[in-house]
Each structure stands twice: as C-alpha cells, then as structure tokens.
C-alpha cells in the first residue's frame, strides 16, 4: 500500500537523542515513549469513522466515533517500548503480543510467544517494533496475525533500512508502513547504519 516517513521536527529531534550512544536507558525510553505518541497521531489519521447519535447537555446530535477496535501488537522485546506512548493516546486499544528474536548469526527470526485478543479480523492492527532491519521479524509477525484473521494491518517502526522496507513491501503489499526515519543500509552484522544500536538492549539495559 504505502510507506510513510514521519519526519516531523519533534520526532526527528527526539530520535537524535535516542541515536546518541551516550543517552542512558531512562532518557532513551522517555524519548521512545514520546515519539510513539507523536507517530500514533499520524498513523491514525485516516482511520475509518462511524456515525453515532448522542445527546450533549444541550441537545441530540449526530457525531462520529472510531469504526474499528484498535489492537497494538508489539514484537517482543523491543516493540514493548512503543506500547505506552500509543496507549496514552488510545486508552481503549487492546494489546496482543508476538515474541520473535532473530538469530544473531543467520538473522533468521524465531517465534517464541503469541497471545492475542479476539477479533483481529475486524480490528485495526498496529504491529510495533522500533527497528526494521532485514524485515524478517516484521514479516514473520505479520504472517502470524494474518493467520489469526487480521486484515487491516499497519507496521509502525522508528528506524528502517531500505532492505527491510523492500522486503516487507514485497511480502505484504497490503500493509501500510510508518517510519520515523529511513536510514542508509545494513552492516555486515545486520545492524542498521547509522541506526541506534540494539533497541532491546538499550530499552531494557541488558548490555
């Protein structure tokens, strides 16, 4: 469908703090939280609405509400870092989880956990992961939720490599992709250049 780069000055400024290797876990997470909220605002811009009849303190009127439930699907672990910021904006969102890690040598994704709310088929499903490198993890996560019936899917990532974007567009041409930045390339270890390092380790302080 489409790939959108949300290069808003506030998003780019916060992402620069995250890219800096000297930024510590607390500030890294806070910037990620704030970017997630800013991105959600744009990601949800074209969500379908339905008419509803309500009564204000003054009179009856026709107004509009979101048509679909929204399900957040963070790819564990690093995707968890995007949940809070989006949930603050969409408190009614349900959350499903897909655990995937990529083998450090082969870069092949491995699924280790999956738990979803009902009705993925009628929901807008936002797959969340800060990093889109080879695209293997995102493709696997989208495969998994499609098998559970998901039809409307948007992939929300902070930083992507061109290789990953191309791979997702090829495997899932029906999925809209939203990025805060499209970087230069992957290095020989499959890390995004310039990137921000290992997102999971920086969020959870594991290295």
Query: Closer to ligand URA at the Cβ: 175 or 186?
Result: 186
Q: Which of residues 135-194 bind ligand PRP (CB under 6 A)?
A: 135-138, 164, 190
The verdict on whether 19 is a catalytic residue reads: no
> Each residue of 27-45: b (16+ CB within 10 Å) or e?
ebbebbbbbbbbbbeebbe
The verdict on whether 33 is a catalytic residue reads: no
Based on the shown chain and the rule CB under 6 A, indicate whether residue 195 belongs to the binding site for ligand PRP.
Answer: no
Report, in Å, the least distance between residue 178 CB and ligand PRP. 15
Of 3, 27, 69, 102, catalytic? 102
- Among residues 204, 207, 171, which one has the least CA distance to residue 79? 204
Report, in Å, the least distance between residue 164 CB and ligand URA. 9
Query: Closer to ligand PRP at the Cβ: 46 or 104?
Result: 104
Of 103, 121, 174, 201, catalytic? 201
Contact predicate 19/196, CB 8 Å:
yes
The verdict on whether 106 is a catalytic residue reads: yes
Interface map 65-84 toward ligand PRP (x if CB under 6 A): ----------x-xx------
Report, in Å, the least distance between residue 198 CB and ligand PRP. 6
Positions in the binding site for ligand PRP (CB under 6 A) = 75, 77-78, 101-102, 107, 109, 129-138, 164, 190, 198-200
Active site residues: 102, 106, 198, 201
């Amino acid at each position: 469908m489409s790939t959108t780069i949300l290069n808003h000055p506030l998003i780019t400024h916060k992402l620069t703090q995250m890219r800096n290797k000297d930024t510590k876990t607390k500030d890294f997470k806070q910037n990620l939280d704030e970017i997630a909220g800013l991105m959600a605002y744009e990601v949800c811009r074209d969500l379908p609405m339905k008419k509803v009849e309500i009564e204000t303190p003054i009179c009856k009127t026709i107004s509009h509400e979101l048509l679909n439930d929204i399900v957040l699907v963070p790819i564990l672990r690093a995707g968890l870092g995007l949940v809070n910021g989006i949930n603050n904006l969409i408190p009614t969102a349900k959350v499903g989880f897909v655990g995937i890690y990529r083998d450090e040598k082969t870069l092949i994704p491995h699924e280790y956990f999956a738990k979803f709310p009902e009705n993925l088929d009628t929901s807008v499903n936002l797959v969340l992961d800060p990093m889109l490198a080879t695209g293997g993890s995102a493709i696997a996560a989208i495969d998994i939720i499609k098998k559970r019936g998901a039809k409307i899917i948007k992939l929300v990532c902070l930083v992507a490599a061109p290789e990953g974007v191309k791979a997702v567009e090829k495997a899932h041409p029906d999925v809209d992709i939203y990025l805060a930045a499209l970087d230069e390339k992957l290095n020989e270890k499959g890390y995004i250049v310039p990137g921000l390092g290992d997102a999971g380790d920086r969020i959870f302080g594991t290295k």
